[in-house]
Amino acid sequence: MTLTAAVMSFAAVAILVTMVMALFRAARGPTTYDRILALNLFGTQTVLLIAVTGFLYERPEWMDLAMVYGLCNFVGVLAVLRFSKYGSFMEDP
């Protein structure tokens, strides 16, 4: 096993462990905002996992997927925040 494969495997396992922790907080969190925070953390970890997996399989083109997923995650968190505050996506504040 080369150095690159070993390092990327370690990073992927660490990121998966962090994703499990974020899911635990999303399932347990007392308030809605804890769940949204865990969702944000899970999305960031998914971006990192896509990047690391792209280097592990020697397909660095997956970086485009990671960038698109980061954009979707940001917009999604803001949309869920707006929904939790106003109760609707259409209503003007």
Partner 1 sequence: MITDVLHVIGAFFVVVGALFCVIGGIGVIRLPDFYSRCHGSGITDSAGAGALLLGLMFFAPPLVAFKLLALVAFLWVSSTVSTHSLAKAAYSQGVRIENVPRKDWTIAPPPPPAAEDAVLADAASAADPEEPA
Residues that bind partner 1 (CB under 8 A): 3-4, 7-8, 10-11, 14-15, 17-18, 21-22, 24-25, 31, 33-34, 36-38, 40-41, 44-45, 47-48, 51-52, 55, 60, 63-64, 66-67, 70-71, 73-74, 77-78, 81, 84-85
Question: Looking at beta carbons only, is 37 or 90 nearer to partner 1?
Answer: 37
Give the span between the Cα atoms of 32 and 63, in whole angstroms: 31
Q: How far is the CB of 22 from partner 1 (least distance, A)?
A: 6
Question: Looking at beta carbons only, is 3 or 92 nearer to partner 1?
Answer: 3
Give the span between the Cα atoms of 92 and 36, in whole angstroms: 22
Q: Locate 13 and state its tokens.
A: 């396992």
Give the span between the Cα atoms of 24 and 22, in whole angstroms: 5
Work out the end-to-end distance of the chain between its first and last CA atoms, rounded to an integer number of angstroms. 56
